Chain A
Amino acid sequence: MALLSFLDRNHSVAEPGFSRWLVPPAALAIHLAIGQVYAFSVFKKPLNYLLQVATSGGGLKALPGVDSPNPSDWKFTSLGWIFSLAIVCLGLSAAIFGKWLERVGPRRAMFTSAVCFTSGFFISAAGVQLHQLWLIYFGYGVIGGIGLGIGYISPVSTLIKWFPDRPGMATGMAIMGFGGGALIGSPLSNDLMAFFRTDRDLGVQKTFLVMGTIYFVAMMFGVFTVRVPRPGWKPEGWVAPVKPKSLVTAHSVEVNEAFGTPQFWLLWIVLCMNVTAGIGILEQASPMIQELFKGQITAVAAGGFVALLSLFNMGGRFVWSSVSDYIGRKNTYYVFFLLGATLYYLAPSTGASGLNNIKLFVTICAVILTMYGGGFATIPAYLRDLFGTMEVGAIHGRLLTAWSAAGVFGPVLVNYIREYEKGKGVPLADAYSTVLYVMVGLLIVGFLANAAVRPVDSKHWYKSEEVDKNLAAVPGSAVATR
């Protein structure tokens, strides 16, 4: 495999003079590509109509609002599993391959991610051609999902090592890219399907093939651009703090060791609660605003509201993670939980039955969504503060299981409460209020978990004199010294 030796970690060590500002675009190339997963829903309706259109013609508008008009077409519920599988595989692969990633370096990991993620498109194209749903489950869901997980964590520890002075901002940029991926993926998919569409073909297969190719090329830009810092490197003019903040360690913890610390599980709860609460708004944003302001907000305007929330979700990733470099990670999460709980509590009172203030409601939801995104983007730097840089990518990978759990727990909780309240005859607007009050409770749990976070006990530190010596001298360069 000498052909692929350029992927080795030692071939990706930066030459002196290499600008660290090339690393964020490399990371963004990966995250903007894999963030496409959030736009997969644009394929659901075309996939739902494949045979109907192929046999009867007439394009997508043949039978609007009908689920799988041809009995052999795939059902909406079956198609929903593609996205769910991809997200589950994202969480699992991030947890499983994190340690491998730390060993082989970001370039090989990004390459693997690109191969898996884009193969998902190609296999799915075959699935559309043969009309075999299991091929799409396997392709986009499993193989593509593995690519998502490896790609998501691949630039994190590298960015932290390049930006020891601003780790929050650096990782925030990349993770903002994941939020931004859907912004590109959604219109790109629609435009390509429109381009390839004929009377009897919705263009899904060709769109998959083209998107797989485009994303592979884009991700290769990241693969070839990314570098790891050489041993002992530090930003020009930057001096490591002599007396670091109490929660910021100059030592490192190995991933399996970190897994057994209370700090890991406290941060797991912190992330899970923050994400679950955010999903509480995201999951029901469109119907909620229509119900709270009945007769004042159309379905089209509600769609605009959801789009606006996506923008704030993305922007919050960069803003809050950058802010955390100045006020500290723990304080940032205190803000999320305290301000978040207050806003969730106030949101229902802005509805038509209360203040009847649409602008105030939209503002509250927008701020909440910035904190949802900020929670994702700030967690890698929080992990770096507590566990050091040595295996922070692997630890981050395992922590992402909290996201997977919240992805299941959040929607189930929201839907259950809503249905329960509806069943009791409570008006829908009030049912949404109950959901938001439950979210306040979750945020309080997150607040308490965050408050309980203390520095990691020295017994968990990685016991290598060489690593410790180098880390003490240059925080942020541990991997290069291993």
Chain B
Amino acid sequence: MENQYKKTPAIVVALAWLLVALPWAWGVTQLWKNARKLFQAPPPPAVSVVPSTPAARSK
């Protein structure tokens, strides 16, 4: 019964996924660039500065 109807072409499904995956991948790449700073930053010479207010942290 099911086979009498036209199935959604695989290319349409792939394109739909691509439409959401591309901007997402771009966003993940941007975030990863930030996240890498955790591993790349050199050790500070002196005591680090701790942001003390939520406003300072959100900047």
Contact = CB atoms under 8 A, between A and B. Distances in A.
Given A177-B24, A295-B44, A304-B34, 18 more contacts: A15-B5, A16-B4, A17-B2, A25-B20, A28-B24, A29-B19, A29-B20, A185-B27, A187-B27, A291-B50, A297-B48, A304-B36, A304-B37, A304-B38, A304-B41, A305-B38, A308-B38, A311-B35
Interface in A167-218: 177, 180, 183-187
Contacts of A259: none
B52 A287 contact: yes
B8 A18 contact: yes
Interface of A: 15-19, 21-22, 25-26, 28-29, 32, 41, 44-45, 67, 76-77, 80, 177, 180, 183-187, 221, 225, 236, 286-287, 290-291, 294-305, 307-308, 310-311, 362, 428
B58 A25 contact: no
Contacts of A301: 37-38, 40-41
A298 B54 CA distance: 17
A300 B44 CA distance: 10
B27 to A, nearest CB: 3
A393 B20 CA distance: 23
Nearest to A191: B30
Contacts of A290: 48, 50
A103 B11 CA distance: 32
Contacts of A287: 50-52, 57
Interface of B: 1-2, 4-8, 12-13, 16-17, 19-20, 23-24, 26-28, 30-32, 34-44, 46-52, 54-55, 57-59
Nearest to A308: B35
A32 B23 contact: yes
Closest 3 CB pairs of A and B: A183-B27, A304-B38, A304-B37
Contacts of B19: 25, 29, 221
A194 to B, nearest CB: 13
Nearest to A67: B55
A300 B24 contact: no
Contacts of A21: 13, 17
A19 B16 CA distance: 11
Contacts, number: 130
B46 A295 contact: yes
A221 B52 CA distance: 43
Nearest to B56: A65
A148 to B, nearest CB: 18
Contacts of A25: 16-17, 19-20
B50 to A, nearest CB: 5
Contacts of A302: 38
Contacts of B42: 298
Contacts of B16: 22, 25-26, 221, 225
Contact of B49 (A15, A16, A299): A299
A66 to B, nearest CB: 11
A295 B47 contact: yes
A48 B30 CA distance: 25
Contacts of A296: 43-44, 48
A311 B20 contact: no
B26 A16 contact: no
10 contacts: A18-B8, A19-B12, A19-B13, A25-B16, A67-B55, A287-B51, A298-B43, A300-B37, A304-B37, A304-B40
Contacts of A185: 27
Contact of A17 (B7, B26, B31, B41): B7
Nearest to A64: B59
Contacts of B47: 294-295
B44 to A, nearest CB: 5
B48 A299 contact: yes
Contacts of B52: 287
A458 B44 CA distance: 63
A28 B20 contact: yes
A364 to B, nearest CB: 14
A236 B2 CA distance: 9
Contact of B8 (A17, A291, A307): A17
Given A19-B7, A304-B38, A310 B50 contact: no
A276 B41 CA distance: 31
A216 B38 CA distance: 35
B6 to A, nearest CB: 5
A32 B20 contact: yes
Nearest to A301: B41
Contact of A45 (B26, B30, B54, B59): B59
B57 A286 contact: yes
A302 B4 CA distance: 58
Contacts of B26: 184, 187
Nearest to A358: B38
